[in-house]
A and B are shown apart, each in its own frame.
Chain A
Amino acid sequence: ETGVTQSPTHLIKTRGQQVTLRCSSQSGHNTVSWYQQALGQGPQFIFQYYREEENGRGNFPPRFSGLQFPNYSSELNVNALELDDSALYLCASWAQGSSYEQYFGPGTRLTVT
């Protein structure tokens, strides 16, 4: 158990809809990153949040957005869902300055039909 939790575990959405995924960081961790893991692939970095601001972004379109709250929990929002957005979404948390120790949550499995 890493102390990082994610919700929901699974969900199914229809193409064109919007979705919000949630992540609760491990205690003492003030930075969170989100990753997308398509079937049979390694996780791909989406973006990172520190002090409630986006602090780095991977090669994902603007319809992927996020929020970080004062308690360091985080959300990933995806608008205008596409079939290719079907994936396992993982969040990882760590303390700023200790990025070498990142711990992942169990992930949210999103299926877009």
Chain B
Amino acid sequence: GEDVEQSLFLSVREGDSSVINCTYTDSSSTYLYWYKQEPGAGLQLLTYIFSNMDMKQDQRLTVLLNKKDKHLSLRIADTQTGDSAIYFCAELGLDGGSQGNLIFGKGTKLSVKP
């Protein structure tokens, strides 16, 4: 079955880089996502990557994918206090009954200290 795991907490200092990690289990080609959720708010799509890619960069965000190990990471350069939020890794189900569904991890709470 599909499962997405991520560490629950990360604390960094303002200006440092943050790296949030995630592992997934689906063996199919798929899309993998990073969403951001601020307190009391919905989910903001940050970026996504298809599983045949190794890396995707978008301004301060870099996504790295190790397909062999089924490991996904999100690096935030020059982390700011406004980056404090919960970050969810998600995998898109592409097969059968899971088609089109997002399978989420439990989220990593990023705390940025001034």
B-binding residues in A (CB < 8 A): 2, 6, 31, 33, 35, 40-45, 48, 55-58, 88, 90, 92, 94, 99-107, 109
Task: Give chain A residues whose Cβ lies under 8 Å from the Cβ of B66.
Answer: none
A-binding residues in B (CB < 8 A): 4, 31, 35, 40-45, 48, 50, 88, 90, 92, 94, 97-107
Do A48 and B100 have beta carbons less than 8 Å apart? yes
Do A99 and B43 have beta carbons less than 8 Å apart? no
A42-B106, A56-B98 given; 13 more Cβ-contact pairs under 8 Å: A2-B45, A6-B42, A31-B100, A41-B107, A42-B107, A55-B100, A88-B42, A99-B94, A102-B102, A103-B45, A104-B42, A105-B42, A106-B41
Nearest CB in chain B: distance from A46 CB, A: 10
CA distance A99 to B103 in the complex (A): 13
Do A42 and B104 have beta carbons less than 8 Å apart? yes
Task: Give chain B residues whose Cβ lies under 8 Å from the Cβ of A109.
Answer: 40
